[in-house]
Chain A
Amino acid sequence: KAGVTQTPRYLIKTRGQQVTLSCSPISGHRSVSWYQQTPGQGLQFLFEYFSETQRNKGNFPGRFSGRQFSNSRSEMNVSTLELGDSALYLCASQGYPLGSYNEQFFGPGTRLTVL
């Protein structure tokens, strides 16, 4: 089975721009979660999608949004980029929603640099 894939792997943007990141979960998995990882804050939960519905959202501003398609692929969007948005963005997939305590597998991440 192919693992979780994320595109692009690296991205450089300037302040004020917007960006869209993509995640393809493991085949058959319907839950996709997004995380932001920075040296200062560590790994922080952004949101989770299951069957095209956002189930949970972390403590991030409205500039961070996402969606999930019928094939379970997910995108996250960050508008009006700030320098502090520079981070590694990780996507994870599970067969069932968070809270059902099953294995969660992560993709390789997208490294976003905001200049």
Chain B
Amino acid sequence: SQELEQSPQSLIVQEGKNLTINCTSSKTLYGLYWYKQKYGEGLIFLMMLQKGGEEKSHEKITAKLDEKKQQSSLHITASQPSHAGIYLCGADGGGADGLTFGKGTHLIIQP
């Protein structure tokens, strides 16, 4: 089964700074999802990447899927307090196992 490892596990960043979260898969990624979760709440869809080399942006968040399709990165530019939360990457292995998720990255933004 597919496993996703996220790094770092937690991150404290000063407001206004940039940051990057990584997601590494044990198998080739065919559909990679990024979500944000506020503690104890549902997941907010951020982006889905499918093609090697693909890059998508939404507001100040950019996600990339590397050409070899085993790693994705999420980059936040000029972080704001609203960016705080848990970022989760999920992989669609083709349907049999649902989405497999990483353990998440806890992001704290310091004013």
Contacts and interface: CB of A to CB of B under 8 A. Distances in A.
Interface of A: 4, 6, 33, 35, 42-43, 45-48, 55-56, 58, 88, 90, 92, 97-109, 111
B87 to A, nearest CB: 13
State the 9 A-B residue pairs at the shortest beta-carbon distance, nearest first.
A45-B98, A99-B95, A101-B31, A106-B43, A43-B101, A108-B42, A98-B95, A106-B42, A99-B94
Contacts of B100: 45
Interface of B: 30-31, 33, 35, 40-45, 48, 50, 88, 90, 92, 94-104
A105 B48 CA distance: 11
B109 to A, nearest CB: 22
A90 B43 contact: yes
Contacts, number: 69
B45 A106 contact: yes
Contact of B92 (A6, A88, A98, A111): A98
Nearest to B97: A45
Contacts of A103: 45, 48
Nearest to A31: B95
A105 B33 CA distance: 11
A109 B48 contact: no
Nearest to A109: B42
B42 A48 contact: no
Contacts of A33: 98-99
Name, among A6, A47, A103, the residue most crowded by chain B CB atoms within 10 Å (CB to CB): A103
